[in-house]
A and B are shown apart, each in its own frame.
Chain A
Amino acid sequence: KAGVTQTPRYLIKTRGQQVTLSCSPISGHRSVSWYQQTPGQGLQFLFEYFSETQRNKGNFPGRFSGRQFSNSRSEMNVSTLELGDSALYLCASSLGSGGETQYFGPGTRLLVL
């Protein structure tokens, strides 16, 4: 069974631009969670989608948004990029029933200049 895939793997943007990242979960998994990882803050939860609905949301500004499609694939968007948005963005998928293991993708490394 294929693992979680994320595209693109690397991205360079400039301040003020927007970016869209994509995540394909493990087949059969209905939940996709997004995390931001930085050296200073560690892994921080952005949001979780289940059955095309946002089920949980972390403490990030409205510039960070996401969505999930009927095939469980998910995208996250960051608008008006800031230098501090430079990070590794990870998505993780799980079955979605709660209290279960999440499996991570390789991440998208975003650099904002």
Chain B
Amino acid sequence: GESVGLHLPTLSVQEGDNSIINCAYSNSASDYFIWYKQESGKGPQFIIDIRSNMDKRQGQRVTVLLNKTVKHLSLQIAATQPGDSAVYFCAENIRPSGNTPLVFGKGTRLSVIA
């Protein structure tokens, strides 16, 4: 199976609340992680990334947390808006001497309730 997986396939959140989307990874050699957002009919859109030498990174309304001890990644969206409704994917990349492709989780669908 895939080395990157998601705990929850769907998440419903009230508008204005914070959202937390979780992701587990199994490859301890992974050193780069990315969150993507995919809206209906579109390709995945880069949201935020984090390298393994960090445990937290913040963007605009989004924060990614990395816990290497338990191989867990999360995406926090503050003050969730209707436009945040989409499928969110985490992806991991190993950077050994060569190059390996990104490995994607199956995605979590975020539904924002107005």
Q: Smallest distance from the beta carbon of A101 to chain B beta carbons, Å?
A: 6
- Choice from B2, B101, B103, B104 contacting A48 with Cβ under 8 Å: B101
> Interface residues of A: mostly helix, strand, loop or mixed?
strand
Q: In the complex, are the beta carbons of B101 and A43 less than 8 A apart? A: no
Q: In the complex, are the beta carbons of B99 and A104 less than 8 A apart? A: no
CB neighbours of A98 from chain B (8 A): 95, 98-99
Separation of A105 and B36 alpha carbons in the complex (Å): 13
Closest residue of chain A to B49 (Cβ to Cβ) is A101
Known contacts A42-B105, A101-B34, A104-B36; A48/B43 CB under 8 A: no
Q: Smallest distance from the beta carbon of A92 to chain B beta carbons, Å?
A: 8
Q: In the complex, are the beta carbons of B101 and A33 less than 8 A apart? A: yes
CB neighbours of A55 from chain B (8 A): 98-99
Q: In the complex, are the beta carbons of A50 and B99 less than 8 A apart? A: yes
Q: In the complex, are the beta carbons of B32 and A104 less than 8 A apart? A: no
Known contacts A106-B42, A106-B43; A42/B107 CB under 8 A: yes
- Contact flags A34-70 to B (C-beta < 8 A → 1, else 0): 0100000011010010100001101000000000000
Residue B69 CB within 8 A of the other chain: no
- Contact flags B82-114 to A (C-beta < 8 A → 1, else 0): 000000010001110011111111110000000
Closest residue of chain B to A109 (Cβ to Cβ) is B41
Residue B31 CB within 8 A of the other chain: yes
Q: Smallest distance from the beta carbon of B73 to chain A beta carbons, Å?
A: 15
Closest residue of chain B to A88 (Cβ to Cβ) is B43
Closest residue of chain A to B43 (Cβ to Cβ) is A104
Q: In the complex, are the beta carbons of B31 and A99 less than 8 A apart? A: yes
Separation of A98 and B101 alpha carbons in the complex (Å): 9
Supplied contacts A33-B101, A42-B107, 12 more A-B pairs, CB within 8 Å? A42-B105, A43-B44, A50-B99, A58-B101, A96-B99, A99-B93, A99-B95, A100-B93, A104-B44, A104-B45, A106-B42, A107-B43
Interface residues of chain B, those whose CB is within 8 Å of chain A, are 2, 31-32, 34, 36, 41-46, 49, 89, 93-95, 98-107
